[in-house]
Structure 1
Amino acid sequence: MIRYLIIDDEHVAHDIIKGYCDLLPNMQLMKNCYDALEAFEYLNKNEVDLIFLDLNMPVLKGFEFLKTLKNPPKVIVTTAYQEFALEGYELNISDYLLKPFGFERFLKAINKAFDSSVNHKIVSSENSRVSNRIFVQSNKKHIQLEVESLLYIEATGNYTKIVTTAETITIREKFSSFLGKLPKDEFVQVHKSFAVGRKHIQSIEGNLIFIADFKIPIGKIYKLNIAQLLK
């Protein structure tokens, strides 16, 4: 069992991390800490195997807190600030997750943290109870989606429209960035502004892909992707 602690001043961050951990076997949340001082007090009396650590917190910053620990456990930094990555690796953190991060990237961080441990079973996409879920943010709300439910995604400027079997969601994230979070073997880009879920393709006719009641255009430079699908 991997006993973990979440240290972050944002309640939403706690919900996302715990949601991802709940999808994996052998993960036990010991405490939610909303500042470093609360975590410091807890660790004086208790032990954990892993800390999810935010950097930008009130009173005591994440790395300042980490330096106070004599024998720190495994640490995965979760932050929106990429510029502190070098300092983090100098402190021997296991991984550095930039917010927002998807489940697949989160899973890699867990495996990286414990890939040399003999005391913990490494989790993988194959043995996790549910491996294909992702959180997206829309209208100040974080929504968890089943990746398999995604029919297609569409670029709309600096936004991405996500069409699922149940709903349509627009998120403030560039198309290329969001596409990069999706499993490559399950999604294929067919146009500069469209990517589709392979399993949902009903038919391909000329320069159109038919998915449910939608018609998705095929761009000229992406026809090779379609040819590979038809092999």
Structure 2
Amino acid sequence: MIYFLIIDDEPIAHRIIENYCENLHHLQKKGNCYNAFEAIEFLNKNAVDFLFLDINMPKLKGFDFLKTLPNPPKIIVTTAYKEFALEGYELNVSDYLLKPFSFDRFLKAINKTFDSAQNKKSSAALPPNEAEPNINSFFLKGDKKHHQIHFQDLLFIEAYGHYTKVYLKNEMIVSPQKISALEQLLPKPYFIRTHKSFIIAKNKIKQIEGNRILIDKYKVPIGQTYKENIIMLL
């Protein structure tokens, strides 16, 4: 479970974030604070994994508050002021959500935050040149739902016009998310682009024959410009 704290002086902002997080069962709210001083008191008594932090708050601004924290958790900034984005990234915030933000943009921020955090943790624990997946899963939009996709169940992804088809062990999901966006969520050591329209899981390959790869009952093409990727596997 991943615990978060919302820090924002607008109650409606709290409700929007809470509603979005209800769709993500691995997230759990630890508290609500409506100014930086409440947040300081809360964090002195409680530990959280990340903060949703507004910038323009009374008494003490969000970034000034952030500078007071000796060991800040991960930060997702939520604000109506885009002009402070550069300062936010200088303070190593994970993402900068400009209000009003959609659920898709919110979900991208969550995936980015914990992909990055887990990658750093794995890199510190592993010997050089060894790689592990950044996280075990990601969330995929499809059929008016958000599906949790575990990397171990993923066979391959196919571009399908303005959509993608995500093939799993026991089902196929059609998603409006672009293949290029999904590629950014995949741990590179375990997935490979074989064609402009296909990304496959390396450990699901049964056979490679000519310009085709057999995965389960499917035959995936190898594009001319991607042949070198396949040669490196052999």
Q: What TM-score do the two structures reach when normalised by structure 1?
A: 0.68
Matched, 1:157 2:154: no
Aligned positions, number: 200
C-alpha separation in 1, matches of 2:143 and 2:52: 23
What code does the residue aligned with 1:64 have? N
- The residue aligned with 1:108 is 116
2:34 is paired with a residue of what secondary structure?
Answer: helix
- The residue aligned with 1:11 is 18
What code does the residue aligned with 2:26 have? G
Matched, 1:218 2:218: no
Say if 1:94 and 1:109, in contact at 8 Å, map to a contact too. Answer: no
Say if 1:50 and 1:75, in contact at 8 Å, map to a contact too. Answer: yes
State the Cα distance separating 1:162 from its structure 2 match.
0.8
Alpha-carbon displacement from aligned partner over 1:54-87 (angstroms, at most 9, x marks no partner): 46xxxxxx11242574834615333688955313
Say if 1:103 and 1:132, in contact at 8 Å, map to a contact too. Answer: no
% identical equivalent positions: 33
Matched, 1:148 2:152: yes
C-alpha separation in 1, matches of 2:142 and 2:56: 33
Cα–Cα, structure 1 residues 139 and 107, in superposed 2: closer, same or farther, change >3 Å?
same
Say if 1:209 and 1:217, in contact at 8 Å, map to a contact too. Answer: yes
Say if 1:5 and 1:31, in contact at 8 Å, map to a contact too. Answer: yes
1:25-104 alignment to 2 at 5 Å? 31-33=30-32, 36-37=33-34, 41=38, 43-47=40-44, 48-50=46-48, 52-54=50-52, 62-65=54-57, 66-67=62-63, 69=65, 71-72=68-69, 74-78=72-76, 83=82, 84-89=84-89, 92-96=91-95, 99=106, 100-101=108-109
Q: 5+ unaligned residues in a row in structure 1: which ranges?
A: 21-28, 56-61, 113-122
C-alpha separation in 2, matches of 1:140 and 1:40: 39
| Root-mean-square deviation over aligned CA pairs | 3.7
C-alpha separation in 2, matches of 1:12 and 1:203: 45
State the Cα distance separating 1:42 from its structure 2 match.
5.7
What code does the residue aligned with 1:187 have? F
Say if 1:52 and 1:75, in contact at 8 Å, map to a contact too. Answer: yes
- The residue aligned with 1:202 is 206
What code does the residue aligned with 1:205 have? E
Q: What TM-score do the two structures reach when normalised by structure 2?
A: 0.67
- The residue aligned with 1:124 is 122
State the Cα distance separating 1:17 from its structure 2 match.
7.1
Cα–Cα, structure 1 residues 215 and 45, in superposed 2: closer, same or farther, change >3 Å?
closer
2:75 is paired with a residue of what secondary structure?
Answer: strand
